Amino acid sequence: MSTLTNIRDLSLEQLETYFESIGEKKFRVKQVYEWLWQKHAFSFDDMTNLSKDLRSKLSADFSFPALKIDTVQTSDDGTVKSRFKTFDGHAIEGVLIPTEERKTACVSSQIGCSLSCKFCATGYMDRKRNLNFDEIYDQVVLINQQSEKNFEKKLSNIVFMGMGEPLLNYNNVLKAIAKITAEDGLFMSPKRITVSTAGVAKQIKKLGDDKVRFKLAVSLHAANDKKRNEIMPINETNDIESLIEALNHFYKQTGNEITFEYILLKNFNDSQKDAEELIKIYRQVPADLVNIIEYNPIDAFQFTKPDEESIQNFMGHLEKNRVNARLRRSRGKDIDAACGQLANKK
């Protein structure tokens, strides 16, 4: 592993100081910075308007640990799932989810995950480390390139719903979003970015205190503590009451959109009583939407998705009670669509 400083950890001012110290002209700073964040170089050799000598000097003084695409799977519905390799040989994954209206990148924030949610393939992987902010940025860049190539359109949205818990990699996630939304970065609107959390109440409050501008999604998946404890161990230390309190604080501080995510599991959380409990939570939080998610089965988890009649009954009960609910059908069913499935493959 390189002991050199990652060049993308340098601010523009630090890069200016470095170029000054080696006697290079000031305009070179802008050229290099553009290659790092706007022209999307993935190595010093890509920086073709620099002399070979300067590229060699940069290579000797800095590391440039960019992500690489390792494997790509394309679904019949247009979904593109990629396994990326990090500089130290770990696998992470990202997904391009296309619809007529939008092209969405689903990105990872950690290598593996420590939360062990029972329905998630990543939950059965150990957490190796947090992703650095530039590794998160690279995912967005690479998925955007896929969108432009396959659909001739740039990404319209980003969701942090891939591997890992974003709020347990708080600083890198916020730094990545800052660069994604920056004028000298990808210049995307923060309103088109959604960070999804399993429910780290303390960090949800911190998002509010930090006045973030992006949207928040909460993976609820069960509407009482007993059931949520069964499938999401994080609930034992971040129960539903603490989540409701944290979400109200977040909304009071930011006014940003909040969504609940709820995977329907057959004979577990799909009854009318479950719907009633979900309605009760919805009414205690200024949530814009409840996403009812069609379950993508994984081998390690014994649950299956309900039949179509049960799904429609559940949806109908929410709608009858004026809950803004949307059914999100599973995408990429013919590939390793569930989070963590592709990264887990040898």
- Residue 172 shares a structural domain with residue 50: no
Q: From residue 283, how far is each of 242, 244, 292, 325 by CA, in Å?
A: 15, 10, 16, 13
Q: What is the pLDDT of residue 300?
A: 67
167 SS3 class: helix
Residue 338 has pLDDT above 60, yes or no: no
Same domain, residue pair 299 and 191: yes
Report the CATH number that the domain containing residue 48 is assigned in CATH. Answer: 1.10.150.530
Residues in the chain: 346
Residue 135 and residue 76 share a domain: yes
Instruction: Say if residue 76 is in the same domain as residue 57.
Output: no
Domains of the chain: total: 2
Arithmetic mean of pLDDT, 193-220: 97
The predicted model gives 185-204 an average pLDDT of 96
Instruction: State pLDDT tens for residues 271-328.
Output: 999 999 999 999 999 999 999 998 887 776 678 899 999 999 999 999 999 999 999 8
Is the model's pLDDT at 339 over the cut of 90?
no
Q: Give per-residue pLDDT as tens, 236-250.
A: 999 999 999 999 999
Collapse the DSSP code of 243 into the 3-class scheme (helix H, G, I; strand E, B; otherwise coil) and give the result. Answer: helix
Residue of 21, 22, 18 lying closest to 5 (CA atoms): 18
Q: Give the span between the Cα atoms of 247 and 220, in whole angstroms.
A: 12
Average pLDDT estimate for 207-234: 96
Q: What percent of the chain has pLDDT over 70?
A: 93
Whether residues 242 and 174 fall in one domain: yes
Residue 182 near residue 125 (C-beta atoms within 8 A) = no
Rounded to whole angstroms, the Cα distance separating 186 from 188 reads 6
Q: What is the pLDDT of residues 296-309, one digit of tens each?
A: 877 766 788 999 99
| Kind of pairing between the strands at 157-160 and 129-130 | unpaired
Give the tokens for residue 19.
């170029």
Rounded to whole angstroms, the Cα distance separating 303 from 203 reads: 30
- Quote the pLDDT of residue 334: 57
Amino acid at 220: L
Return the active site residues. Answer: 93, 339
Q: Are residues 191 and 127 in the same domain?
A: yes
Q: What is the pLDDT of residue 259?
A: 97
Instruction: For the full predicted model, state whether its pTM sits above 0.95.
Output: no
Please say if the pLDDT value at position 121 is more than 80.
no
pLDDT in tens, 145-174: 999 999 999 999 999 999 999 999 999 999
Average pLDDT over residues 196-215: 97
pLDDT computed for residue 340 by the predictor: 44
Contact 121, 112 (CB under 8 A): no
What token pair was written down for 327? 């059914």
* Alpha-carbon gap, residue 135 to 129, rounded angstroms: 12
Same domain, 30 and 123: no
Structural domain boundaries, residue 35: 5-63
